[in-house]
Amino acid sequence: MNITNQIVEKHGLKLEEYEIIKKLLNRDPNLLELGIFSAMWNEHCSYKSSRIHLKKLPTKGKQVIQGPGENAGVIDIGDDDAIVFKIESHNHPSYIEPYQGAATGVGGILRDVFTMGARPIALLNSIHFGDPDHPKTKSLLNGVVSGIGGYGNCIGVPTVAGETKFNKTYNENILVNAMAVGHAKKNKIFYSKAKGLNKSVVYVGSKTGRDGIHGASMASAEFDDNSEEKKPTVQVGDPFTEKLLMEACLELMKDNSIISIQDMGAAGLTSSSVEMASKGGLGIELELDKVPCREDGMTPYEIMLSESQERMLIILEDGKELEAKKIFDKWDLDFVVIGKTTDTNNLTLKFNNNIEGEIPIEALASKAPVYDRKWTKKEPKKNKFIFKEHKKVKLEDALIKILSSPNHSNKSWVTNQYDQSVMCDTAQKSGADAAIIRIHNKDKAIAVSVDSSANYCKSFPILGGKQIVCENWRNLITVGAKPLAITNCLNFGNPENQEIMGEFAECLQGIKEACEYLNYPVVSGNVSFYNGTNRKNIYPTPVIGGVGLIRKLSKPLGHSFKKEKSNLILIGKTFGHLGQSCFLKEIYSINDGMPPEINLLNEKNNGEALLKLINKNLILSSHDVSSGGLITAISEMTIASDYGAKIQKPKKLTNLFEYFFGEDQARYIIEIENNNLSEAEKLLKDNNIHYENIGFTQKNHLEIEGILKIATKDLFKINNDWYNNY
């Protein structure tokens, strides 16, 4: 077939990139080879627009066993235990086909984890939808939530935490980010680097079909009015087969048979074979007619670019084929030797004994384009909000409106569709600042959380990037965990737009600065560009997934009030910052001003002091102050418990709206019994921590002295009504 410019562009390649391909090959590629370049050089697989910025992130630390570059990151939690985790996007597929897009997103991230030799122990998600009144939002929400629950529930891994948010910026491009966490032994981590010559390359798992062809390329392009036509590029998942595949792989990993192993994810057999060979500095030869196919007449092009799910590529030690095949036969899965490693440094593709394609591995990997795209710096905007307008609303009415809004309403309609308790190690479910998963048969546990803040990032990306890291840090600390490391999913618009690229670069700078200061390295992640339709891009939405360690778990620490007449202390200074706040958005429909300042010294000191209080068992409950400010956080603690609270009027800030709804950072609310109060206050003073005694818990009502009084049962109803009626 003659390769025309139209064919090149249909494959998502620039014409100048095609010229580079011809130079690397010293000839014109055939259609199969063009398809392979298309798969490996797209944004989703090559990170060609983000790579130079990603290199700036801190990725090392004493706790880091494996940083970015593998299927997932790995951290040391002591006692020869390791935690393996990663977050990835499945945005475009989920918009086109919500159920399967979300389901296969879960399946893909689970494979990334158990490919490393870890048994998955938890799933999380960050899902963003358009305006609730948009005609597509309700069906997209239903489909995505059903897909996440359908896959996770069937495979038997608990979905323990996440976030569900709404904003009109996602009307035509929703975000579905899935995170998986697994547990492994430090000495049994498996990698994708190929080693040795003439080693068997084995295909295992489900058969290959025509679903998902060009899925990775589709994820590397903007949508337009014809996005529905891309449904065939969405993969179809089977969680029951994935369960079999997981168990078979973990069983094989008990001995020393595996040299390397790679999930067939984005770009399928193409990316898995190229990545393994590239990391090992080897070539790889595949006999495509041996690949198990579930459809007749599949061509080499279709076989190499299919993104059918529940498949792995394994390189085995000599003589281990028969033993390994017995395991996969037992689990009723395909096991076929389809090739071998070579010293050619080429990807050689055979079909019916004919060479159908031959490409240097480095041309697909290390020589893929890297772009240092131009970008513009975001200039901070001054807060235009006129504060006298506060007088037009009552504080009680503002609180009710926030608690009943889509982004602050109780999300149990969503989370109740997920099995949170399977495997019996979930110590704290969704709803708290972080979920807690006990390490099986041990006293220690991990805490996990995912966070994002698109409005902050859009307003001032550097501050927004810092804030997300810090909020995630705080969420782990409030449950008594020492934050260890993060994974990130960086969701942005078109990187060829200088403003969008600037948002990306500056968000990354903010993430970098916060992670470095907090010793909170990035060990894995994903970049998702081209999130937009008809040149209308989403807000910059980096999502941070964090993992922390609880060395000895006795009783999980949550944010629900525990006793009557216990003391409430606010840690951290309150300045009354309302720029980009939930208050402005919900009460005045304004997204204005700068995000709150981030003082990394205060974040670190306040968080570490709170951990000391928790480790001394001086705390009954704790909650970070974030979106909606102080009164919203106190309301959330009330709603989660059988107790209310009586809060004093502020002594310094005279504007009540600024005090109660301001979103100043590095703040926590803690509940302390009377007999522990003096010791707790001494510890805070000794560590130079600013704190205020703001009130105490009580029965039946949330009350601000002389300002408002709301029955706790009414608060609960207010907070639950929106989802129940949506």
Catalytic residues: 44, 90
Neighbours of 197 (CB within 10 A): 11
Token code pair at residue 33: 């080879």
Contact 91, 220 (CB under 8 A): no
Tokens of 144: 């995505």
The number of CA neighbours under 13 Å toward the Cβ of 701 is 9
Specify the amino acid at residue 235: Q
Q: Give the length of the chain.
A: 726
DSSP characters over 638-681: HHTSSEEEEEPPPSS---HHHHHH---SS-EEEEE-HHHHHHHH
Q: How far is CA 493 from the centre of its chain?
A: 17
Question: Could you give the 3-state DSSP secondary structure of residue 540?
Answer: coil
Provide φ and ψ at 435, rounded to 5°: -85, 155
Contact 92, 44 (CB under 8 A): no
Q: How far is CA 324 from CA 12, 256, 383, in A?
A: 39, 11, 64
HEC profile of 222-250: CECCCHHHHHHHCCCCCHHHHHHHHHHHH
Range 120-159 burial, b when 16+ CB lie within 10 A, else e: bbbbbbbbbbbeeeeeebeebbebbbebbbbbbbbbebbb
CA distance to 33, 64, 81, 481, 559, per residue, from 8 (Å): 11, 41, 48, 51, 55
Radius of gyration of the chain (CA): 26
Q: Provide the terminal-to-terminal Cα distance of the chain, rounded to the nearest Å.
A: 53
What proportions of the chain, in percent to the nearest 5, are helix, strand and coil? 40, 25, 35
Whole-angstrom distance, CA of residue 269 vs CA of residue 685: 59
> Strand 621-624 and strand 701-704: pairing?
unpaired
Tokens representing residue 261 in the block: 């192993």
> What span, in angstroms and rounded, lies between the C-alpha atoms of 89 and 250?
25
Q: Which residues contact 374 (CB under 8 A, 6 or more apart)?
A: 498, 501
User: What are 525's strand-pairing partners?
Assistant: 488
With a CB cutoff of 8 Å and minimum separation 6, the contacts of 233 are: 93, 96, 212, 213, 214, 215, 217, 218
Could you tell me which of 456, 457, 451, 510 has the C-alpha nearest to residue 476? 451
Dihedral sign computed on CA atoms, order 105, 262, 275, 5: negative
Lookup: tokens for 80: 């020869």
CA distances from 656 to 91, 410, 630 (A): 40, 25, 11
Q: Could you tell me the CA-to-CA distances from 303 to 41, 127, 182, 233, 236 in Å, in that order? A: 18, 32, 30, 14, 16
Q: Residue 572 corresponds to which tokens in the numbers above?
A: 């951290």
Whole-number Å distance between alpha carbons of 55 and 685: 40
According to DSSP, the β-strands at 435-438 and 445-451 are: antiparallel
Helix (H) or strand (E) holding 46: helix 43-46
Calpha distance 73→522 (Å, rounded): 8
Residues forming a β-bridge with 208: 293
